[in-house]
Chain A
Amino acid sequence: MKKFNVKVLTNLSKKIRLMVLDMSYRSQVGHLGSAFSIVDILVVLYFSVLEVNPKNPRWSGRDRFILSKGHAANALYAVLAKRGFFPKSWLKTFCQDGGKLGVHAEHTVPGVEWTTGSLGHGLSVGCGIAWGLRLSRRRGESRCFVLLSDAECDEGSIWEAALFAAHHKLDNLIAIIDYNKVQAFGTTEEVLGLEPFASKWKAFGWRVLEVDGHNHQELVACLSTPGQNSKPTVVIAHTVRGKGISFMEHGMKWHYTAPNEREYEEALKELSV
């Protein structure tokens, strides 16, 4: 698989943000902030790290990716379209009556591994997939990546999965946490403090890597690192919700709201620079 350089990845991220902005504006459906915080992670995964085949989305040798924070599906859809899993024209149908794409990731869309939407499911499913991959040795070195939100780590089921993965030494499982430190109705600190976050994962027996979630070079290096023997890996990606549009980088509003015309124009200007 081609490995792109950082400049290419940066430009791709910008394009993806434009596509996501467009989808959100057209449909007047939100979660823009949540989508923007993971765009760089997804671009690095799909253009530099994951072994996938857009012409054969269920190729048995693929790396598996689960977007456990399913409400940011708009970002995933833009990346999958750009990567060639389905026609870009589908993006115009996002949240339209009779459209191909809805708010949350659906496994019937080519390239989407699992339907999510309720938080806290993806890591357990990832554990099952990682375990199954290990049992099916013919699958080679396929890995399973699961992208979680920080708020999702409020769910008990995440910690059940964390215990399981470490106990069973699932070194082909990589969790990525979009640690933007804001959730639906407050900051993570105000609602349910996660700190010391890295220490928690370490205590659960995971290898912990921390990275700037918007630095492509760091992300590539981190996500391409081979698995550590006998430990699952968690990549805590420090991100900013709404990253890429200055006025979207703060406040609760951008978890929920779609831009109006003026905001859309301003966002376009910033992204087109």
Chain B
Amino acid sequence: MRLAFIQTLTKLVRKDKRIMLLTGDLGFNVLEEFAQEFPDQFLNCGVAEANMVGVAAGLAHEGFIPFVYSIAPFVTLRVLEQIRNDVCFHNLPVKIVGIGGGLAYGHAGSSHHTLEDVAVLRSIANMTIIVPADREETRSATQAIAHHPGPVYLRLAKESEESVYTKNRHFRLGKGIETVPGVDVALITCGSIVAVAAKARSLLVQKNLSVSVVNIHTLKPLDVRLIKALTKKYRILITLEEHSTIGGLGSAVADIVAKTPLAHFYILGLEDCYVTHVGSQQHLQHIHGLSTEKIAKRIIQLTLSSRALRQSFPRLSRRTQGKLSQ
């Protein structure tokens, strides 16, 4: 996803020299070509992220469009006051690009994960938050935010699928996408875990459970219309995110769902914890119930979690009775 981002940024800078890229001493094998082609638009600010965000705010004040690039926790949680007071309060067109949101840095451990970034930044006024699902979406998002007039947080994974869509999807900031329509359950998700959700969906098709995978790439502003429409169309809404279950996508959707008659809403993610096991992103996802198989199993459990629902899904109920306890 980083390469998709920098390739798109390169094309944009060729047309608009106001765009700048600031990095907190990161970018090995990713940013070299950019730095060489655009020496005036590139700034390695060193391991001094608070200063970097302040500098970005000052540059934006003078009419430039700075992109600030680092590993996600360093350019969000660490510099929160600078983001809030200097960027967002002044409503400046600074784009914060956080690499490795969620568990993407796997083996690097908890200091390099961020399960709180969306929750925290969502609460800051004037901030727009986008979590692209794949490389294609990263390109579209980068294009869309370049001339967005205010602050943006772009949460990128490290690696990702080229495309999670079966057909071309038009990216519009603030508009979610029902990537694959369904009938029974709406699985609302974002980021690189959309690909995992798509695989879980395929498993569930075999169990005759029809799940729609809905990609909410823009967490703020949320596509309220789409969420409300989903509550009317589906009996069960489940959100899935590589983020804490507190304050992220699930909470954002919950705010809307709470005002509707929908009775069955569940949030899947990391449950208010740090991830301290050692392993790759896939391993950590598995341990925390976010692998394809575990997500599929959890969706079935939730679908059968009440008598009313079991009556709605009699075939699923009969087939899986007893098996879930194994």
Contact = CB atoms under 8 A, between A and B. Distances in A.
A255 interface: no
A231 B209 CA distance: 68
A157 B54 contact: yes
Contacts of B64: 132, 135
Given A132-B64, A136-B62, A118 B81 contact: yes
A131 interface: yes
Interface in A7-45: none
Given A115-B90, A135-B40, A136-B63, A157 B50 contact: yes
Contacts of B301: none
B27 interface: no
B85 A117 contact: yes
Contact of B56 (A117, A128, A160): A128
A3 interface: no
Given A132-B62, A133-B62, A135-B40, A127 B51 contact: yes
Contacts of A127: 51, 54-55, 58
Interface in A110-139: 114-118, 120-121, 123-133, 135-136, 139
A163 interface: yes
Contacts of B90: 107, 114-115
Interface residues of B, number: 26
Contacts of B61: 114, 125, 128-129, 132
Most buried by A among B40, B62, B63, B86: B62
Nearest to A158: B51
A161 interface: yes
Interface string B56-95: 1111111110000000000000000110011001100000
B54 A125 contact: yes
Contacts of B57: 124-125, 128
A164 B51 contact: yes
Interface residues of A, number: 29
B4 to A, nearest CB: 27
Interface in B22-50: 40, 43, 45-46, 48, 50
A97 B63 CA distance: 34
B53 interface: yes
A121 B55 contact: no
A139 B60 CA distance: 15
B51 A161 contact: yes
A117 B81 CA distance: 11
A196 interface: no
Given A118-B81, A156-B50, A164 B55 contact: yes
Contacts of A156: 50
Which of A116, A124, A130, A133 is the most central at the interface, judged by chain B CB atoms within 10 Å of its CB?
A: A124
Given A124-B51, A160-B48, A163-B46, A131 B86 contact: no
Nearest to B79: A157
A138 to B, nearest CB: 11
A118 B54 CA distance: 13
Given A115-B89, A115-B90, A118-B85, A128 B63 contact: no
A128 B50 contact: no
Given A132-B63, A135-B64, A163-B48, A124 B55 contact: yes
A164 B46 contact: yes
Interface in A149-176: 156-157, 160-161, 163-164, 167
A124 B62 contact: no
Nearest to B43: A131
Q: Which 3 pairs show the lowest CB-CB distances between chains A and B?
A: A128-B58, A124-B54, A132-B62
